[in-house]
Structure 1
Amino acid sequence: MGSRASGFSYELFQVSQERDEEVAAFCHMLDVLRSAYPHSDRSKNAGFVWSPSVGHDELHQALGVSVKVTIISEHFREPLTFTCDGSTTVDLLIYQTLCYAQDDLDHLNVDDYLLKVCGQEEFLPKFCSISEKVVEKLTATILDLVELYCSTFNANFHTTAQSRGCTAPVQEAGLVTNVLSFNVYAAHRIPITWAASYEGFFLSCSLTHGGAELCAPQNTSKQAVSKYLFHLVVWDQRVCFPVQINQLPRESQLTVTLYATPLPPPGGAEEKGKQRRSIEALGWVTMPLFNFRHTPAPADFCPQYEFKKLDTISQILCCCVRRLTTDNKRLLWEKKAFCQEESAALPLILASAPCWQWACLPEIYALLRQWACLSHMDALGLLHASFPDQELRRTAVQWMDSISDPELLDFLPQLVQAVKYECYLDSSLVRFLLRRAIGDVRIAHYLFWLLKDNLQDSQFSARYQHLLAALLCCVGRSLREQFDRQCWLVSILTKVAQKVRDATASSRQGVLREALEEVKKFFHLNSSCRLPLNPAMVATGIKIQSCSFYNSNAVPLKLSFQNLDPHGDNVNVIFKSGDDLRQDMLTLQIIRIMNKIWIQEGLDMKMVIFKCFSTGRGRGMVEMIPQADTLRKIQVEHGVTGSFKDRTLADWLQKHNPTEEQYDKAVENFIYSCAGCCVATYILGICDRHNDNIMLKTSGHMFHIDFGKFLGHAQMFGNIKRDRAPFVFTSDMAFVINGGDKPSSRFHDFVDLCCEAYNLIRKHAHLFLNLLGLMLSCGIPELSDLDDLKYVYDALRPHETEADATMYFTRLIESSLGSVATKLNFFIHNLSQMKFASSEECPTLSFAPRVHTAKSDGVIRGLYICSHIRTSNTSKGYAYVVKVERDGQEVQLVQRTFEEFYELHCKLRLVFPSSKLPSFPSRFVIGRSRSEATADRRKDELNGYVWHLIHAAPEVAQCDLVYTFFHPLPRDERAGTTSSKPAGGSLITSGKELGEVKLSISFKNEKLFIMVMHIRKLVSLSINKLLFTNSINQNNHLLLFYNMFLLNLLHEKIYRSVNNMMWCLSAPTSNTSNVCYES
């Protein structure tokens, strides 16, 4: 197989270094860097895909985490399973395993063994040591080659320096007082199409630093196209900027833009056409004003200042860099010494520097040297385009050097974008990325695909081509071959997806299976291939029969690959072609970082984090989550109006978690994951939320997919927003949380959980603004200007206190729960998706978790409804006890409600529209429909129905729907009970109990702040019964404050009346208290 990726990059690299002195020096740096990582040194170049690990061992110890480990080996007859502490090292696990497997350990070395994750080519690291020292050496220029070209060919240019020894002397920029000026002669090789379509060509030259203009742009005169050997525009004039060279920052950029005016349209009205014509930019180039060679850093002669330790100023420090006003900047720079205790404020201080001229740098560098080291999350803020200074960026990269490889992967997309803001190809950031890629296969893998994706950026494609070539030069041959295979596989899958999308709806499955034969041939030629989605996923083939597609606009493919590990499941992924996945990739990255912050703070939100990766513009892979359905599929089991019913999610979870223990665990997972989704989707402004891009696992975990709209860019129906609620939180979700349609204490816990998660993310507001800010130039349409960042800033509300933020988010929950628009959106989407319903899909019963057949259960010989009993669930109806007789088996008793019989009948009509079915008893009842008399009458009618059903045509009587309906459920095995209902908190208890008020108390600026969070079990003084409204979201977040001194507070009792009740708070107080009331 030919080398596709690597061969192209090597050739490009060789051509580039012959023409560019900077690239030649960059190549030499790569040689030095690569030599520091020999393939024989396993400590620096292991060649394995290491499993990402999370630090904070003390957190695991505090939480008492235990891990169940199962080890499979060809040396064991059966798997070895044991439980160990979460802080146990991998070395110790290997040693324990060897002790079990071997009698004599004297001749064994633990370092010779590794633990591999089952199902993936991923190994658990025993240690991580990455320390390298790279020496930078500049190589000589290659002017000789240019001079040889000029003397050999009839070139109309020549080099100014006739030999290397005659180069002009380098002058100290700080000593040059002349203004910046240069000659502009001509623009050569003007395309013929431009010459025939434009007139009045001119150049506009501008000076910028960190994106800000240093002075007004300077323009040349307008000239027409001339023709000699080729078309060119000749100006031959001098451009002069009104700024002295010693006042220019070292990272100043010169941008030259070619403009022209379109020729008037033919056919008269020339004057009118001139009025409508406007100049157009035909091309531009941006280059550093100073060369890439490093001169003595101003930090070497910085004056020393004595910084006094004063109280920090916090009024402005919560602002975003881009929201600083002129007055804010002036105040911060004057009081910069006061902010030393707030190390994360450094980006704000540096953004407030009055200028970055040569004379100002000593003061800036002195501040930089005396500032405390930033964390790697805060150091990201110094890599923005607004900070082009090389010494500053070198320091930021140095602070990030301690970041672990798993943490680096979290920020890798932003660091790749930050390369755009480097003035020179050989920079500290580029060296850092290449050095870490050499030492870790996973980083090298994702860096390769990120660089390859950015080759489409026309403005920076040359730089990313050089970096991609450098990466391929540094990694080994084996990894380069893996990249070639992955590119080949992606190319084949792209063609397959295009064929399926172009085919008619009825023929797509056949076209897919035929096109996948090319993938099968690929695996015949290549024994295995790592998937771009995850380098630990190694496929050896394709399961064509298990592959299908989704009925959506882009027609994504559902692919099933054969796993290299025989103990692992098939690798199931979604391949999309025609959708830009970069926005989904960024959204999931931010949510993954949020989840890590929650976990590090001891709050496990039980989030489902899946992988999504773009392999080029308009294509990519998404990880499939098993045992999960969309909310639409769950809701339409109760009909097209299922979105308006409250029991749909609870019934579905009950169906898949029949025991009380399983259901309670599923509800817990639902509460936590639902809270996490509410917080994450609100902060990121996730829009276009319908019930087909919200999914629920059978284990209760809820998660969102398809992030095509974010940062508040909602779809519009005319002038009306489609997403009108702050986030998706509906009454069927509240039904699961409360355990019914009555309020419970679990809803208060849910609100507290949301507010706690929200406040934890607010503490890291600068991190998320930095992550999104670094992506402003990546080309995502909905993340392109400062207004998009302002949306996240306003959502995080960093200027507010935790108490205010808690009240604010509580109101958002109430607003979302009370929004009718969300359910209406779901219903409209249900209607629109009816046209995609496949006739081949057999409907299932909403209360049966699995499908059963006559072959698996045995043929039914008789059905008889012998009695009916009252159910204990909220419907207060009756369940009918059915006696089921099968061949060669004991008689079974199952319990089914009238509504479940009706659901069976409706779905039989869908499956057998042309078959004769028994008539179903009427649902219309005069009088009380749930009375004893009605139940008796329906029992007789249902007996007639089931008798005719079992004696119907064989395709009806023995269909899977019928046998699934009469298969025993766990609820049938519990004698004397009916269908289990979700366990909810009890609202009324016997005996005398004190009421409870949950408070959050803080003391600030001589004021006592008391937030009334929740009130429970308050008994009225006037009427002796529980005060509790029927609202499903009973939350009493009320903020009170008192002007008093802390010393007085210690001797005070505070009385407050709530809901006609008097409660008392006595000092000493704590941050959060449960207070009993006094009547």
Structure 2
Amino acid sequence: MTRLMSFVRNTSQENFSQVRFDQQLSFADAHICGLQRETLILFEIYASFADDSDPILTSLVSEVFDGMSMRLIGWCSQTLFDHERRLITGERYFGIIDSTTANRTGFYSLRNVSDRDCSILTVSFGNRTYFWPDIPARKDIVARSITEISSEKQEELSQLLDRRCLFLVDHNILLTSEPTIDNRKQQSPPNALDESAYIRNLSREFSDDERYHLWSHRFYLMHRPNALPKLLKSRTVWDYPSLIDVYGFVNAITQQRTINEIEALELLLATFPDMFIRSCAYRSFMSQIGSHDLLRYLPQLLQIMKCDYDYSSPIIEHLLEQCQRNCQLAHKFYWYLRQLILTESIHFTRYYYMFLALLYIMNDDVRVELQNEYDLCVNLKKIGWEIKESKRNRADYLSEQLKTINKDFFQSGQRSCRLPCQFGFKTNNIDVSACLIFPSYTLPMKLVFNSSSFPSEKYQALFKIGDDLRQDQIVLQLLSCMDQIWQANNFDFRLSLFDVVLTQERCGLIEMIKESETLLDIEKPLGTIKGSFGESALYDWLYKNNTTERDLDTAIDNLMYSCAGYCVATYILGIGDRHNENVMVKKSGNLFHIDFGKYLGDTQKFGWFNRDRAPFIFTKQMLYAMSYGGTSSDAMHEFVDLCCNAFTTLRQNSSLLLLLLSHLCSSNIPNLNYDAVRFVYERLAPSKSYADSITHFTDLVVDSLNSTWTRLNGFIHKMAQPFTSTNSPSSETIPSFVPSTYAITHEDKIKFAQVIDYEKRRVPVKHYLYKFKVERSSITYHYRTYNELYEFYECLIKQFPSIDFEMKMSQQTENRILAQKRLLDMNEFLKKLFTSTNEITESNIVSTFFQTDQRDQQLNDRREKNSEYPMVNNRAKIGIILKYDNGKLYVMIRHASNLPLSNGNEPRPYCKCYLIPDESKSTKRKGNIVNSRNPIFNETFTYEIDRTEIQKQVQKSFEYFMSSIRYTRKTADVLSLRFNQDSSCFICTTRDGIRVFNVEPLAQKFYLEVGHVTYAEMLYRTNLIAYVPADYGTGLASNIVNVYDNQLKTHVLELCFNTSVMSIRMSRTRLLVVLTNKIHIFSFPNQCRLLHTIETKDNPKGLCELSNNDGSIIAFPFNTKSKNGFIQLL
């Protein structure tokens, strides 16, 4: 883009209502034939002031003219060619735009049209008639093969095209800064782009030599995807002869391949004002997206139009055409245009004409419905302002006004309408009793709308006054963009997105997500200090609201995935002001964030102190919930892996995210400018390698987890707003540990209950759990703590004050003696409870307390299956990432878990890596020591090796292992030998795996490399093998039985026991696991479950035999509890 400047002056120091310049402005170096059709002429008016230190003046752009400091007080712009492509002539009058309007994006005339009292600039142009000619595009351009040039040049071109560049030109700077003029020095306002940053950005994109190199080889790069924007950017001259070549080149590319979505969005940046190029980009973009994509990109498309030379751009016609076919798109378009008419003062005319065009193409019914929506929002805004100013009871006033809306707006007018934030919901009534006012600074109103189609369906929304909701809109759109990228790469982070619509200036509707609570409300039952600094609140809440094991598993899975997604997203977008009332969790476990008033690096501060000191919100409370109350050691590693996958996926697909953000820099939204795009770009760590980016984000996760500022910030917020809640008060009296009230039925009627046992628990803290036996139509068992029973008693007293029995609560530390005493006290209480009146015993609160919950199901199921073999995988694991790129093999050791203790102490593990065979150990790489059983290493070992060499290395490694096994192993390494049931095969276990041999002919059938195995059994000639792996620490038999399917090449079953497994026996219907003094008998192989447990004499050798006739007889060592050593199985 050519920058030419000329100056006129009026040196009068007196104040006049009219200032006359009467000077001719001349651009000596500008020739008409060398100007682009989209050329603009910018007028800026500067003035000097007697008191230049006035704070109002210091915020204005400053220039130095002949040693005198002057301030910019107004500006306007004018296209040199009109819509008929004719050079403008005659006298023109321009409304001066105030200098505080910094955003000047738009390749058409910009002037003040909204203020009738604004200053007017009069300019006379010459009377010479000149038309911009039609430019014939070249038709002889032919693509050439990249192989025709040398490999060195191919590599150079590839590096230039692969370079990460930001094609971001802030049009404000384009119009106002000229670094080559020595006598002008611009001081940008705080929110404008720094001139040096602008120069650095241009210089880091392409040098002059690189531009020439790219453009001169353009014909070899025509087939290269995403190359067109960089090739056009490398073209420095855009005069008439150059455009003939450029247009022909663009036509040739569009005929040979499709310009993809990313490429088209890049060509629609302000960097490319030429309407021929923009029209090509529009056509490609519109051919690839449907109505749903238009909905997603609508905010950007409405900003892109500003850079179109004509009002009637191709995208406007396409949008209006699609609106006639898609009512949802028309609905969204309507509300976005209303928003832009309010907020875009200098582009008001363009958007107003567009708004009229949209109304014109709609039918009468749609227009009436949209007007009803708008009228409803006007009434709601009026109520909101009156609530802020009213001294009456706000809740009563809200109820009165909403009843008036129901009567006067909906019923009398017989109106119904959709909602601005939900096209699919139609209402004709507000549920007044469910509406309320949140006691926060802006006093938002919670509104509940009844459906006009389905009486039971309701829609909840927040009507908020006083905040600029455009920031929330942008953040939510970018979150949706991230979710789209993740979904395309097979990652579902289960984001909970909601809609926000600006209905009038600084007010609008926000969709509310049902069945969700803020972390503040989740923490409240534990109190201010324990809720903020404790770890159990979130897990307890999820446990309470997910009453089956399957639901709890799903909820924790949802929590882990959604938390990972939001951690990455909020970090990249720089979301600030994160505290426990801006983070919410659904009962299904999905975590999500709300209220994005601080974003793109704008942090929340207390005076000068930055309150947002953690990279993002990830607390020990969240990790505790993800690890099932601290019982899973894999949760942290799984969460880190999810975060790193989300982060690296966005890094690899960052173009769409950056382009969407770049197109919004002209939107007048606070803090959304070039610096914001640069902020997001740098948050993606473009200079880091794949391995470094994983290490970088892992460090961020650890820093966030260990940050005390997050919990302290939540504590401070809780103390500052102790009564703030997102929940309406409940009229029910139920214990805090149950999710809802359960009504009693005839079958559920409780006859009696008593405590029959107790046991000590250590997770999450040491406590005693009491077992209740409840007699209904059947016997059920329930597990409660003493504190839970006491809370039940307190709720009972509130509901039935007349009861004459009581429970006592002591603060003593619970031990076995106290637990025994409490068992007696609880049984005395239960006896009195169930001998009281039917009104009490058959009440909902009693039925609710003895309702089977998640804990009851887990403990009862465990006792049915026998708690000696919980199905838990405690084997050590290690996470490794292999990546080959540009002749290098990258081996990244991520983390390990469940490493064995060393003499009862925490191990000090480190990682080593070899490429074997490697007798000289030249490929040895060693990492750092980490003091943990579950270490995070993030060590990357790099090997420069050709891809074919890796394949040879794998083959050599295989041959090496086979040769060493066949010729160097000793018979002492054989740990067990067993024939199968028909003696057609035998199975051999060693310290490195399992071998199965055929008898006739004698030959090895297969080898399983499963490490040190002490015992194995094969089921006839089938594909099932059961074996006992050795203990990692001692080398003796472990407490684990694994079953391997050689056909599926995977383990299909794992059983864990309290003591070591001595031997195994198998038949077609049974699996026997022999322990030191017990034999467990399982159904097998279908639906493996425990059938019997037999106690035996001490049996360290695992002596046991199972007859081959379908496992009907077992022989085992004699035990006094059995009549003899032989048992017939049924």
Deviations 1:707-754 (A, max 9, x none): 111112111234442122221111122123222325533443332222
Matching residue's letter, 1:287: Q
Deviates more, 1:851-860 or 1:310-319: 851-860
Q: Does 1:516 align with 2:303?
A: no
Q: Does 1:319 align with 2:162?
A: no
Deviations 1:222-265 (A, max 9, x none): 568999xxx64443332222322223222111222444556889
Post-superposition shift, 1:488?
0.8
In 2, are the aligned partners of 1:882 and 1:895 still within 8 Å (CA)? yes
Q: Does 1:244 align with 2:134?
A: no
Partner of 1:469: 356
Partner of 1:1007: 888
Partner of 1:221: 10
SS in structure 1 at match of 2:306:
helix
Partner of 1:173: none
CA distance in 2, matches of 1:644, 1:669: 23
Deviations 1:834-853 (A, max 9, x none): 14369965686442011358
Partner of 1:781: 670
CA distance in 1, matches of 2:508, 2:816: 60
Q: Does 1:708 align with 2:586?
A: no
In 1, are the aligned partners of 2:900 and 2:933 still within 8 Å (CA)? no
Post-superposition shift, 1:996?
4.8
Matching residue's letter, 2:942: F
Equivalent in 278, 287, 293 of residue 393 of structure 1: 278
CA distance in 2, matches of 1:637, 1:675: 26
CA distance in 2, matches of 1:1001, 1:317: 25
Equivalent in 701, 708, 712 of residue 820 of structure 1: 708
Post-superposition shift, 1:957?
12
C-alpha distance 631-264 of structure 1, shift in aligned 2 (>3 A): closer
In 1, are the aligned partners of 2:6 and 2:26 still within 8 Å (CA)? no
Deviations 1:138-186 (A, max 9, x none): xxxxxxxxxxxxxxxxxxxxxxxxxxxxxxxxxxxxxxxxxxxxxxxxx
In 2, are the aligned partners of 1:765 and 1:798 still within 8 Å (CA)? no
C-alpha distance 1034-540 of structure 1, shift in aligned 2 (>3 A): farther
Matching residue's letter, 1:939: L
Equivalent in 1023, 1044, 1051 of residue 945 of structure 2: 1044
Alignment of 1:988-999 (within 5 A): 996-999=877-880
Partner of 1:848: 738
C-alpha distance 287-903 of structure 1, shift in aligned 2 (>3 A): farther
Partner of 1:736: 625
Partner of 1:346: 228
Equivalent in 115, 125, 135 of residue 298 of structure 1: 135
Matching residue's letter, 2:819: A
C-alpha distance 398-824 of structure 1, shift in aligned 2 (>3 A): same
Partner of 1:939: 823
Deviations 1:78-97 (A, max 9, x none): xxxxxxxxxxxxxxxxxxxx
C-alpha distance 1033-779 of structure 1, shift in aligned 2 (>3 A): farther
TM-score using structure 1 length: 0.69
Partner of 1:449: 335
In 2, are the aligned partners of 1:884 and 1:893 still within 8 Å (CA)? yes
Post-superposition shift, 1:815?
1.8
C-alpha distance 578-816 of structure 1, shift in aligned 2 (>3 A): same
TM-score using structure 2 length: 0.66
SS in structure 1 at match of 2:707:
coil
Post-superposition shift, 1:277?
12
SS in structure 1 at match of 2:24:
strand
CA distance in 2, matches of 1:502, 1:958: 49
Partner of 1:335: 214
Deviates more, 1:717-726 or 1:818-827: 717-726
Matching residue's letter, 1:999: I
Post-superposition shift, 1:967?
5.2
CA distance in 2, matches of 1:676, 1:971: 29
Alignment of 1:47-126 (within 5 A): none
In 2, are the aligned partners of 1:871 and 1:978 still within 8 Å (CA)? no
Post-superposition shift, 1:624?
1.6
Equivalent in 289, 296, 301 of residue 410 of structure 1: 296
In 2, are the aligned partners of 1:605 and 1:673 still within 8 Å (CA)? yes
SS in structure 2 at match of 1:879:
strand
Partner of 1:43: none
C-alpha distance 968-786 of structure 1, shift in aligned 2 (>3 A): same
Q: Does 1:367 align with 2:236?
A: no
CA distance in 2, matches of 1:652, 1:523: 40
Partner of 2:481: 593
Higher helix share: 1
Post-superposition shift, 1:299?
4.7
C-alpha distance 391-911 of structure 1, shift in aligned 2 (>3 A): farther
Matching residue's letter, 1:255: L
Partner of 1:63: none
Partner of 1:8: none
Matching residue's letter, 1:468: F
In 2, are the aligned partners of 1:247 and 1:357 still within 8 Å (CA)? yes
In 2, are the aligned partners of 1:259 and 1:280 still within 8 Å (CA)? yes
Alignment of 1:123-138 (within 5 A): none
Post-superposition shift, 1:793?
0.4
Partner of 1:672: 561
Count of aligned pairs? 827
Deviations 1:624-682 (A, max 9, x none): 21111111111222221213222222221121112112211222222222221122112
Matching residue's letter, 1:938: R
Give the gaps of 5 or more residues in structure 1.
1-208, 266-274, 1056-1062, 1065-1073
In 2, are the aligned partners of 1:548 and 1:558 still within 8 Å (CA)? yes
SS in structure 1 at match of 2:158:
coil
Matching residue's letter, 2:552: Y
Equivalent in 258, 261, 267 of residue 376 of structure 1: 261
CA distance in 2, matches of 1:488, 1:850: 39
Matching residue's letter, 1:455: I
In 2, are the aligned partners of 1:573 and 1:622 still within 8 Å (CA)? yes
SS in structure 1 at match of 2:555:
helix
C-alpha distance 869-1003 of structure 1, shift in aligned 2 (>3 A): closer
In 2, are the aligned partners of 1:574 and 1:624 still within 8 Å (CA)? yes
Matching residue's letter, 2:548: T
Partner of 1:631: 519
C-alpha distance 673-973 of structure 1, shift in aligned 2 (>3 A): closer
CA distance in 1, matches of 2:650, 2:859: 49
Identity percentage over the alignment?
30
In 2, are the aligned partners of 1:905 and 1:920 still within 8 Å (CA)? no
In 1, are the aligned partners of 2:907 and 2:932 still within 8 Å (CA)? no
Matching residue's letter, 1:809: F
Q: CA RMSD in A?
A: 4.4
In 2, are the aligned partners of 1:225 and 1:232 still within 8 Å (CA)? no
Equivalent in 223, 233, 254 of residue 41 of structure 2: 254
In 2, are the aligned partners of 1:1017 and 1:1027 still within 8 Å (CA)? no
Post-superposition shift, 1:1009?
1.3
Matching residue's letter, 1:412: L
Partner of 2:443: 555
C-alpha distance 918-219 of structure 1, shift in aligned 2 (>3 A): farther
CA distance in 1, matches of 2:796, 2:370: 52
Post-superposition shift, 1:943?
6.2
Partner of 1:602: 490
CA distance in 1, matches of 2:18, 2:444: 49
Alignment of 1:161-240 (within 5 A): 214-222=3-11, 232-240=18-26
Matching residue's letter, 2:516: A
Alignment of 1:262-277 (within 5 A): none
Post-superposition shift, 1:341?
4.7
Partner of 1:798: 686
SS in structure 1 at match of 2:784:
strand
